[in-house]
Amino acid sequence: MKPFVLDQKITLQRYTATQDEYGEEVRTWTDLGDERAKKFQGRGDERRQAAREQGTKTATFMMHSNARTRGLLVRDRIVHDGANWDITDVSDGSPQRGFLEATATRVVE
């Protein structure tokens, strides 16, 4: 089996909500840091689901499993090539090889 080449640079971000001086919710995204990843366009069930949901794309990002990536939540997002990908699932894709997978969707206009 060929080793995975983590050829894409991604930025992991965490959603936080604060309040402004009027008590209104202000949504902000904080960078958690950059990671190297391998991007797979839609996989398995995600590919079929994306076909039913027009206007969205699904991808899975495989990255090294480390303290930062193991702390990812489904409310976090990935920024890749200027697009924001909302994380929908995080799983130990290949724990024996030290990888983690995050499945994410983005709106396509």
Please give the Cα distance from 34 to 67 (Å, whole number). 13
pLDDT band at 1 (very low <50, low <70, confident <90, very high): very low
Output the DSSP codes for 14-64.
EEEEEE-TTS-EEEEEEEEEEEEEEEEE--THHHHHHHHSTTEEEEEEEEE
3-class DSSP state for residue 76?
A: coil
Residues 30-79 pLDDT 10s: 999 999 999 998 655 555 565 555 678 899 999 999 999 999 999 999 99
Looking up tokens 């060929």, which residue turns up?
Answer: 2
> What's the confidence (pLDDT) of residue 55?
79
pLDDT of residue 18 exceeding 50: yes
CATH level 3 topology of 8-107 = Thrombin, subunit H (2.40.10)
> What's the confidence (pLDDT) of residue 97?
78
Count CB atoms within 10 A of the CB of residue 49: 14
> What's the confidence (pLDDT) of residue 48?
53
